[in-house]
Copies of this chain bind each other. A is one copy, B any other.
């Protein structure tokens, strides 16, 4: 799919050959203050025309409104506010381009590359589960087998951990990557793991099937650019207080490098409410599905911050139209090195999956949960 897609990008480049993509549909509207003298209006128009755009003037009873027609990359909206007489500058259109629903003809479907042919973004609801961190061989293999038995289609597990304290457990690093590859060989489950550093992209890409970008790195543009050059699918988590537009612009960084296999992940945003770790922005799911062709996953574990709330949030995510879930599971959460509070036990995960299957079905999505023996 990547071939024709890049062709499509090329076709939309601006004729001027600039490195900026030419995007259709943008309009800039300049609103003058009440009582702006004619000289100031002329000055604004001259500024617009110097940038090579045409100015379309609409004089109202007390305000003049100036529409700018042409290549908007040549005019910086913020600067216009500094011209005398300008009260407001309105920019119409979306800043994301390749990520935009209008760009692609249809929904992007991301293949996880496993023998089972797992595809995210289609009719199947895909559940990715596993421990927050890889803490050792036994716990990883146990967890992989358990989540697979309950219907998970991919394994998550952190090798490099972004911790707010430099004194906290930072992950097992390369050793964890090797264990993940080993467990994939045994179970066939594709492996999702986080990359923290542009210098690790190559290493992690060797072992992982999906590169995860964590919430704290959503606007780590050096990392996004490096990942955009890799051949691995990407799971991009929404930043702690990122807007939906910023999430799509972060995706745009990856897409603009030619890597089109991007999955977005809502994981809760930071608000004043403290009864949960984050506030799951459930509406982000339908908003994203409207704005972009990329698949949308939900991480109920980080949103909830407590194991008991994970299942209700997971059900809500499925009902709101998510394409998949990312869930933390641990053999014994009382001993977890990280996220013990929110990790599900095997039994709790299995029970969640059985309920998820019914809700997915109600929403017209498939979720296969192996039968109890």
Q: Which residues of A contact B (CB under 8 A)?
A: 19-21, 24-25, 27, 29, 31, 34, 47, 56, 58, 60-63, 65, 67, 69, 73, 76, 78-83, 87-88, 90, 92, 95, 97, 102, 162-167, 196-200, 216-217, 219-222, 225, 239-241, 243-246, 249, 252-253, 256, 269-276, 279-287, 290, 303-304, 306-309, 312-313, 315-321, 333-337, 339-341, 358-359, 361-363
Contact check: which of B76, B83, B166, B219 meets A253 at CB < 8 Å? Answer: B166
Other than the given A82-B307, A271-B271, 10 more pairs (CB < 8 A) read A25-B63, A79-B340, A81-B341, A164-B219, A243-B273, A286-B309, A316-B319, A358-B362, A359-B362, A359-B363
With contact pairs A165-B252, A219-B216, A271-B269 given, residues A29 and B90 touching in the complex (Cβ less than 8 Å): yes
CB-CB under 8 A from A199, the residues of chain B are 198-199, 222
Nearest residue (CB) in B for A361 is B362
Shortest C-beta distance, A78 to chain B (Å), equals: 4
Q: Residue among A27, A56, A83 with the most chain B CB within 10 A?
A: A27
> What is the CA–CA distance of A133 and B61 in the complex, to the nearest angstrom?
33
Question: Which A-B residue pairs are the 10 nearest by beta carbons?
Answer: A241-B241, A319-B319, A197-B222, A79-B340, A78-B341, A315-B319, A362-B362, A286-B312, A316-B316, A216-B219
Nearest residue (CB) in B for A342 is B78
Nearest residue (CB) in B for A69 is B60
> What is the CA–CA distance of A186 and B306 in the complex, to the nearest angstrom?
48
Q: Is B65 a contact partner of A334 (Cβ separation < 8 A)?
A: no
Q: Is B337 a contact partner of A61 (Cβ separation < 8 A)?
A: no
CB-CB under 8 A from A316, the residues of chain B are 282, 285, 316-317, 319-320
CB-CB under 8 A from A274, the residues of chain B are 243, 274
With contact pairs A67-B65, A317-B316 given, residues A165 and B249 touching in the complex (Cβ less than 8 Å): yes
Q: Is B320 a contact partner of A313 (Cβ separation < 8 A)?
A: yes
CB-CB under 8 A from A69, the residues of chain B are 60-61
CB-CB under 8 A from A306, the residues of chain B are 81
Contact check: which of B92, B197, B281, B304 meets A88 at CB < 8 Å? Answer: B92
Nearest residue (CB) in B for A320 is B316
CB-CB under 8 A from A246, the residues of chain B are 164
Contacts A/B (CB < 8 Å), 13 sampled = A27-B31, A29-B65, A47-B334, A56-B58, A73-B167, A79-B335, A79-B341, A82-B341, A162-B221, A164-B219, A283-B303, A285-B316, A319-B359
> What is the CA–CA distance of A306 and B199 in the complex, to the nearest angstrom?
37
Q: Is A92 a contact partner of B31 (Cβ separation < 8 A)?
A: yes
Q: Is A221 a contact partner of B244 (Cβ separation < 8 A)?
A: no
Nearest residue (CB) in B for A317 is B316
> What is the CA–CA distance of A63 and B197 in the complex, to the nearest angstrom?
40
Nearest residue (CB) in B for A245 is B275
Contact check: which of B281, B290, B334, B358 meets A82 at CB < 8 Å? Answer: B334
CB-CB under 8 A from A290, the residues of chain B are 308
Shortest C-beta distance, A327 to chain B (Å), equals: 15
